[in-house]
Structure 1
Amino acid sequence: MARTGIILSLACLFLAGLVPSEAQKGEAERETVVRVSAGAPLTVECRLRPEQRAEWRRDGGALPPEMRPVAEAPAPDGRLTARLRAAAARAHLAGTYTCTPERDQRVRVLVQPPAPAGEASSASPAAEERSSEAARELLFDVRSNITLRCELPNDGGLAYVWKKNGTALEEVWEMKERYQLDHGGAEFKVARAVEDDFGNYSCALAGQPQQQLWDVRGRPHLKLPANSNVVEGQKLKLTCRVIGKPYPRVQWSYSNATDEEGNFTDVAALGARVSLGASEQGVPDGALVLEAAARADAGRYRCAAPRAPAAALTTLRVKDMYAALWPFLGICAEVFVLCAIILVYEKRRTKPDLDDSDTDNHDQKKS
């Protein structure tokens, strides 16, 4: 009897270990909400075990280009702290962020509109002075020059401090030996800019809280092949290539008309056969996939994006699934006709030769 009681006790302990408590569930599936005002610095944090490495995702997909991972740092509890940072929060950065494949830690980011002017705030005077001027937006073309002019009054001859995404320029690896400061450091120049030169730039005077801000973005240029072909019934994939970061979300439309003045309709009108997704380049909705292309899908397809100087166009031709069969059958018919002509000709040419041979034999007998 005592033996049976011991076995039952051990079984209960084993089952209790299999069923997680409510506290364990809460720990395993923890979600944190981060609320930030548009334009303010954004930081997303999560905790990792020492053997883990951060694998960040936003809504199950790739991270926005503005969100930059920071190297893991030890936490007081023995675990590691992984961070994502953006110099300025924007509406498109909102979403649910995860740092592990298990997605057991979720951070929901809510980007709120900035407080209206004149609204009471608990921020310090220095913070109010730093945020008194909104960031100026500057668009640049890849391989063109970027020039930023710091207009802060500098009667005391103080040194200018330039930063990109909150980091001093001299510490930004991709900017080394690519920029120059003129006019005593008041003018920042980059020759032959590349895509990764986008970001949030700031200028301040040494020891002064006030700063001048720029939101530098690459002007998006869109590209599609001039012509696209697909066989009827097969899958079609069109990829809109974008030059200029951060990559904007692409809008697709199509027109069955072949003239330049054709009316374009959103591709959603094609129904469930069409789907949009991120391209291999990382452009949101940059890839259009059409299941089982039909003859009626032929026409002109266009991808467009905000701030792009022009949309990209491609002409789609849908080939008949038997298009390769008809030429083959035509060739076979031609060969058959030629063979028939040759046979008839040879037959007719052989008969006169036989008649001539019979006449010659008859003349020889008479003689």
Structure 2
Amino acid sequence: MLPGKRGGEMMWVSFALTGALMLHSVSSQNAGFVKSPLSETKLTGDTFELYCDVVGNPTPEIQWWYAEINQADSFRQLWDGARKRRVSINTAYGANAVSVLGVTRLGLEDAGTYECRASNDPRRNDLHQNPATTWIRAQSTITVLQRPSISSSEDITLPSDQHSPSITLQCNLTSAHSAHVSSYWMKNGVEVPETRGDRANTEYFLAKPKGPEAGEYMCVYTFEMAPSVNATINIKAGPDIVGHKRSDNKNEGQKALLYCKSTGFPYPVWSWRKLDNGVYMDIDNASGRFFITNLDNYTELSIVNLDIDSDPGEYQCNATNTIGTSSMVSVLRVRSYLAWLWPLLGVLFEVLVLVVIIVVYEKRKKPDDIQDGKPTPPTITKTRTFVRGPRTEKIITLIITHSMYVLTI
């Protein structure tokens, strides 16, 4: 082979290798964090979740590691199902790599440093390579504190006759990892006004509570550098339906809406039935026109495209919880789509009667008598002439007013 030819081949090989390296550098991307885990302070018995989102090309691999003391040789890899299945790891790979680490039923031994490691280096699992150069890392510190102890009142059930004596709910913070900042009361997840204070022993007074006062009450204690704690006291009562639509009048093809609202706690299980041959039966929704919406102490029954033959009747809403049950009946009336025609015909009839009355009144006037074309001697006669006076105008006004009212119904 000629030396010049061999030199040209070597030059082409070098160009090809340089191009491949440039293409690789353009298409590849080192791993980088989009979202890294955050440090948290938790109480015993709580749950925490750490999130890790990494980009890179190719898509990086993610691992989770843990160390009680933040030292390089103290870390141990975590696996899904570790610590008696209290550890869960869910990872998804796509354009990004996303992983979620969760630990439930925390104990004091779960405190420490948790590390998210990511790498798309082909040598990342080579034992001869230094992991510090092939993996990127993001750490979070989880602090676990002993849960404070709260002594609270027992659950209370209100009598069904709605005559309950006054009740005082009590909570006492008996032990805590640090001094609390404030305390207050909540009902059904909403803070009760004018209950915030700084006492460890807090009370909430209810004067003769009834159904509307039933619910989930919580006394809450806040801390400066730790999560708040609470104790729950349930005031239970049977459901009492305090509001419902008694009746609804609709035309066929329209939509009807019936509803019921109750008091009581726990929140009831709602059901709707229809009267059929003297017995309330579950609604047959084969047509798919019935829609039921339940939300705590409220329920709705919607019926679309009303049918005049099958939909009219009595509908019963029923509320049931562990304490008792309550029900109410609503009446649905469905009119023909020609129902608007009957008031119009009534108005037309009244207008016709009005015209007849006016014509009759005008015709009651007597003309002068003419005999054989000769005027008759003047005679004195007493003639009653009916004219449209105030009484006639009043009658006409009443008829027109009534007609307009019928049209607006």
TM-score with structure 2 length normalisation?
0.42
TM-score with structure 1 length normalisation?
0.46
Larger helix fraction of residues: 1
Q: Which of the pair has more CA radius of gyration? A: 2
Larger strand fraction of residues: 2
